[in-house]
Amino acid sequence: MNYPIWEVHKIGLPWVIGIIAIYHVMISHFAVGGGLYLAFAERKALKEGRREWLPLLEAHSKFFLIITGVFGAVSGVGIWFAIGLIQPEATSTLIHNFVFGWAIEWVFFIVELTSAAVYYYTWNRIPEKLHLKVGWLYAIASVCTLVIINGILTFMLTPGSTWLGVSGSGHESAYFWNAFFNPTYWPSLVLRILVCISLAGVWALYSFSKLDDSKYGKSRVQLIRWSTTWLAPSFLLMPFAFLWYAAMVPASNKHLLELGMATIGSGSFTQVTRIALLSIMSTSTIAGVAYLFAYKYPKDFSSGHAIAILLIALAATGSTEYAREAIRKPYVIGSHMYSNSVRVREVDQYNKDGYLTGSMWTPKGVEATPERLGRAMFAGECMSCHTVDGYRSMKHFLEGRDAKSIGNILKMLHENKADSPYHAYMPPLVGTPEEIANLQAYLVTLNQSTEGQPVARR
C-alpha cells in the first residue's frame, strides 16, 4: 500500500479506465487501419485512373487527421493519467520492464503524427508518387505502434513462465523479449489488425456519408461500396483468430468464461459470458447492416446509417475490451499481481506482518478506531473493483447480512481455497486477523447507515 487511494464515487475506478480506453481503442485502431485504407485507396485511384476519387480521399484524410491526431492523442494521454492514479504498482511494473518498448513506440508515434499532417497538407503540392510514399510511411509507422503496444497489453494476461520465474529478482528487464513475445502475443496481434481494418471501413463509411451526393455522386457511391469490403476480411477471419487466441489463454482464465457457459441457464456468474455474447452479436449486426444499407444501396446510404454502424461498433469494441479485461481476473498482471496491486509473492508476508503495518497511508492524527482502520483496508484491498454505493456496490452486496455473515465471507476470501466461489475472480484478502476484524467492523457499518465514513485523506 505504497500510494494514496483515489476514490471515484458511483462509477468506481474500473470504469474511469474503461470509458477512456473504449473511446481510445475506437480511435487508435482507426489510426492504424485508416492509414492502410488511405494508402491503398490512393494507390487504387492512381493505378486504375480513378482520379475523381482523390478530392474525396483528401477530405477523408482531413477527417482522419482531426480524429486521430487530436482526439486519439488526447485520450491516449488520458489513459496514462488514469492507470497511473488507479493502478500505480502495475503501471510501475510495465514501465520498468518495457521502458525500451515504450521508447520505440514513442519514436514511431512521432513519425506517425508528423507523416499524417504532412500527408494531408501536401495534397496537390508535391508529386503524386511522393505523396503516396508519405501515406505508406504513415501506414507502416502506425502498424509498428500496434506491434509494440500489443506486446505490452498481452503481457498483462500472459507474462509467460520465463518472466514469472524471475519476477521479484530485479532482473526482469533482462527477459524483455520473453515477456514481449508472450503466449497470446501473435493471436492478439492478428485479432487487433483485423479490428483495425474493419474500423477503417466503418469510419470511412461515416466520412463519405457526410459528403454531398449531388457534388460527388458516382465517386461517393463507389467509395462507400469499396469501404464496405474492408469489413469482409475481419468477419471471415476473426472467428479463427479468436479460437487461436482462446487456445493460448491459460486454463484458469478461460474458467471464467466456461463457468458462465455452464451456468447460463440459471443466470449465475455469467457476466463475462454475456459480454462475450454481446461482442459477437454486435459484430454480426455491423456486417448485416453494412451489407444491406451500404453495399447494396450505397446511393441511399446516409450519415444516420453511418452513425448507427459507428454506435454498434462502439458497443462491439467496448464489450470486447471489457471481456478481455474480465478474463484477466483476479489479476492485473497474470499470476504476478492481483487486481488490488498485491503481488502474489507478498501474500504470506502481508498475512504475517500485516497489510497496513508500516504504511504511510494508515490513518494518522486521529484515533485509530477499528472502523477507520477497516476503511483503510477497504480502500487498499477492495476499492480497485468496488465502490461503497455505486458500481459493484458493497452496500448492495452486503445488504441484509449481519456481522457473522460478513465475517464468514471475509474468512473465505482470506483462505482463498480452490473450491471457493470467489477464487476464480477475486484476489485473496490479505492481512492479520486483527486487520480483517477491523475490515469486518467497517463493512458492518455499511448496513447501519445510508452513508459510509469518508475516505481518510492520505
DSSP secondary structure string for all residues of 197-224: HHHHHHHHHHHHHTS-HHHHHHHHHHHH
Residues 376 and 315 in one domain: no
> Given this model, what pLDDT does residue 260 score?
53
**pTM beyond 0.85:** yes
Please give the single-letter amino acid code of residue 281. Answer: M
Compute how many other C-beta atoms are within 10 angstroms of the C-beta atom of residue 159: 26
Question: Same domain, yes or no, for 309 and 382?
Answer: no
Are the beta carbons of 394 and 439 closer than 8 angstroms?
Answer: no
| pLDDT tens figures, 161-195 | 999 999 999 899 899 999 999 999 999 999 999 99
Write down how long the chain is.
458
Amino acid at 144: C
For residue 215, pLDDT over 90 is answered with no
How many domains in the chain?
Answer: 2
**pLDDT tier at 4 (50, 70, 90 boundaries)?**
confident
Q: What are phi and psi of 379, to 5 degrees?
A: -60, -45
Collapsing DSSP to helix, strand or coil, 387 comes out as strand
What share of the chain has pLDDT > 90, as a percent? Answer: 74
Question: Is 393 among the domain residues?
Answer: yes
In a domain, 453, yes or no: no
**pLDDT band at 453; cut points 50, 70, 90:** very low
Q: What is the DSSP string of 414-448?
A: HH--TTSTTTTTSPPP-S-HHHHHHHHHHHHHTTT
Residue 61: how many CA atoms within 13 Å on its side-chain side? 29
CA-CA distance, 454 to 366, in Å (whole number)? 13
Burial readout 280-317 (b: 16 or more C-beta within 10 A, e: otherwise): eebbebbbeebeebbbeebeebeeebbebbbebbbbbb
At 266, the pLDDT band (50, 70, 90 cuts) reads: very low
What average pLDDT does the segment 237-247 reach? 91
Task: Answer yes or no: do 321 and 356 share one domain.
Answer: no
pLDDT value at residue 458: 35
Instruction: Specify whether 242 is located in the same domain as 373.
Output: no
Residue at a domain's end among 291, 323, 338:
338
Residues 284 and 354 in one domain: no
Q: Is the domain of 249 the same as that of 289?
A: yes
How far is 255 from 83, CA to CA, in rounded Å? 26
CA nearest neighbour of 455 among 409, 400, 386? 386
Alpha carbon separation from 112 to 63, 123, 148, 273, 295 (Å, rounded): 16, 17, 14, 37, 31
CATH classification of the domain holding 399: 1.10.760
In a domain, 5, yes or no: no
What would you report as the CA-atom Rg of the chain, rounded to the nearest whole angstrom? 25
Instruction: Give domain status of residue 428, yes or no.
Output: yes
**Mean pLDDT score of the chain, rounded to an integer?**
90
Average pLDDT of span 79-106: 94
Boundary of a domain, candidates 291, 322, 338: 338
pLDDT-wise least confident of 201-215, 243-257, 380-394: 243-257
Query: Is 451 part of any domain?
Result: no
Residues paired with 338 in a beta bridge: 331
7 in a structural domain: no
Among 297, 115, 317, CA closest to 198: 317
Per the DSSP assignment, residues forming a β-bridge with 343 are 337
pLDDT digits (tens, 9 = 90+) for 319-344: 888 888 888 989 999 999 999 999 99
Q: Indicate whether 307 pLDDT > 80.
A: yes
What are the backbone angles phi and psi of residue 330, rounded to the nearest 5°? -90, 20
Same structural domain, 264 and 348: no
pLDDT at 264: 45
Q: Where is the domain boundary, 338, 373, 400? A: 338
Are residues 245 and 310 both part of a single domain?
yes
- Residue 414, CB-side half-sphere exposure with 13 Å CA sphere: 22
* Chain centroid offset of residue 125 CA: 39
The reply to whether 250 and 312 lie within a common domain is: yes
- Residue 263: per-residue pLDDT: 46
Tell me if 458 is assigned to some domain: no
Same domain, 398 and 324: no
Q: Answer yes or no: is 382 within a domain.
A: yes
Q: What is the mean pLDDT of residues 344-371?
A: 84
Give me the domain span that covers residue 230: 12-338
How many Å apart are CA 106 and CA 131, to the nearest integer? 24
Residues 170 and 311 in one domain: yes
Report the largest interatomic distance among the alpha carbons of the chain, rounded to a whole angstrom.
Answer: 80
Do 151 and 231 lie in one domain? The reply is yes
